[in-house]
Amino acid sequence: MFFNNKLPVLMVLLTLYDQGRTEKIIGGHVAEPHSRPYMVFIRRHLANNEESFCDGFLLNEDFVMTAAHCQANNYTIYLGVDNTKSLKNDEIQDRTVEKAFPHENYDKNAYIDDIMLLKLSSRAVVNNFVKPVALASQDDVTLPKSCIVSGWGQTRPDGVISDKLMEMNVTLIENSDCTKLKLYCSNGKARPGKGDSGGPLVCGQNTAYGVVAFMSQSPDGHSMVAYTKIPCYVDWITSTMKKALSKNVKFDNILLY
């Protein structure tokens, strides 16, 4: 592909299957409970009764954003989650998905346009535990600073996911190939791992700039994580939500900074 002076690389999608999970957020720490009320835990129901997990984030009462490679036959969405071992309590809201809207140009082989909206079957109730996150605007052309990625990874190789939300700081790098593909990129020891797909790259004043997409690994062991660049997709996000809601639901604007 395009990283590390065009050396051959292995592109690793960061979805998390019920078995065979091997990574967690690398170099991260446990997030303060409910400090990321926009975070969404997504249970993906696949063929042959298999399950997999992705992360996402709440845009408004009707929509969750995640990665297009997190597509599934159907989904269960959990809002207000702190501990994944306890998904049934008064703080947590669970929803099914009425319809998924992966980007029409998503290419699973080229890893481009890896972004998807999930229309909830019933609206989320915003409270202290469940809140939408603001999105970066299409005018945000500079490389964002002070970025955090959060998600639920696994804690040991036998496939048990973390029961706590993890988070870490990441530093974005200037990379012309990433820019051409409408991506932000980061490297370093602290990085997302499998199970963090679809989660938000949040920078500055709690503004979502990216969607965790994939990791690139070169033969010499260096890795780089790519995030779908939200400012490049603002028009698509807005138009997709308007079309989805135009028949019978009043459109609520997402927060844009």
Residues carrying an active site annotation: 69, 114, 197
Query: CA 79, CA 42: separation in Å to the nearest integer?
Result: 9
Length of the chain: 257
Q: Where are the beta strands (DSSP E) in the chain?
A: 10-13, 16-17, 29-30, 39-45, 51-58, 63-66, 74-79, 93-102, 116-120, 134-135, 147-151, 166-170, 172-173, 183-187, 200-203, 207-217, 223-229
Residue 163: other Cβ atoms inside 10 A: 14
Query: CA 144, CA 246: separation in Å to the nearest integer?
Result: 33
**DSSP assignment of 167-189:** EEEE-EE--HHHHHTTEEEEESS
What is the separation, in whole angstroms, between the first and last Cα of the chain?
33
Q: Are 93 and 78 in contact (CB under 8 A)?
A: yes
